[in-house]
Amino acid sequence: MPEAKSLEQIKGFLIDLDGVLYTGNEPMPGARALISSLHGKKLPFLLLTNNSTLTPTQYVAKLRGLGIEVDEGKILTSAQAVALYLHEVTTPASEIYVIGEEGLYSALHKESFSLAKSDNKDVRFVVVGLDRQLTYQKLLDASLLIQRGATFIGCNPDKTLPLEDRLAPGNGAILAALEAATGVSPLIVGKPESIIFDLAISRLGTSKEETAMIGDRLETDIAGGRNAGLITILTLSHVTDQHELERSFIEPDFTFDSAEELHKALQRSYA
Ligand SMILES: [Mg+2]
């Protein structure tokens, strides 16, 4: 039997954004208090999101608009994780074809990568993040490059994107189209895969046993956090409800109804 975990042993936090700190443009109850108490107690944390469409600057502005103050160094998106991963495995001279939005383009530019035109035969990587301007031509270009041998990389596998009252197609739906067309499965960098967790933990500087992943999705935040050897905390605030939790094989170490309940429990445990 693994040892029971306690909130007191947590020295650092990875925190999902959408569904934990806010939904849409509404802050979650307790989100501000949670972040300001981590600041106050000087506990290291990173805000870890699979969303590749926004830049860290845009996230800082969005959070500020919700009354949550963080600096850019506290944000790690799946787009940044892809750029950092490519920085580790190849040189900036490598040509990359991108399907995605500003967050992904900006992250790759920041690591000095040159982005390729579709007819460039030297393309070594096809990187795919959510693209709400997706066209058939982009799918065609990407699938031809993958068939020619370019490495197929996905920012995140999220099949859906929760909007206020419905589910829109997420990046996983775009990856599925390319996978169907090429027979090639993408290398996923975002949650639940290990690449983004390894990057996050090394930036945070805490050990895995003392680091908690807080999220609202069982199959990404909690499954990924468990695989990475982290303490996992589910908030039943958005995607996952009690009924789904009871039916799932994925078990978080701790479950709270909201960021507010988690904040109160942390206050008690650090008192
Ligand atoms: Mg979420």
Question: 88-103, pLDDT tens digit by residue?
Answer: 999 988 899 999 999 9
Catalytic residue among 16, 131, 158, 253: 16
Residues listed for the chain: 271
pLDDT value, residue 270? 78
pLDDT of residue 240: 78
CA–centroid distance, 112 to ligand 1, in Å, is: 29
Distance, CA 267 to ligand 1 centroid (Å)? 23
- Between CA 156 and CA 195 the distance in angstroms is 11
Neighbours of 229 (CB within 10 A): 13
Whether the pLDDT of residue 1 is over 70: the answer is no
Give per-residue pLDDT as tens, 32-84. 999 999 999 999 999 999 999 999 999 999 999 999 999 999 999 999 999 99
For domain 91-188, the CATH superfamily is HAD superfamily/HAD-like (3.40.50.1000)
The pLDDT value given to residue 3: 62
CA of 238 to the centre of ligand 1 (A): 7
By the 8 A CB rule, do 125 and 96 touch? Answer: yes
Q: Given this model, what pLDDT does residue 114 score? A: 83
pTM of the model: 0.94
Give the pLDDT mean for 19-35: 93
> Average pLDDT of 128-153?
97
Residues forming CATH 3.40.50.1000 domain(s) in the chain: 7-50+191-269, 91-188
State whether CATH 3.50.50.60 applies to domain 7-50+191-269.
no
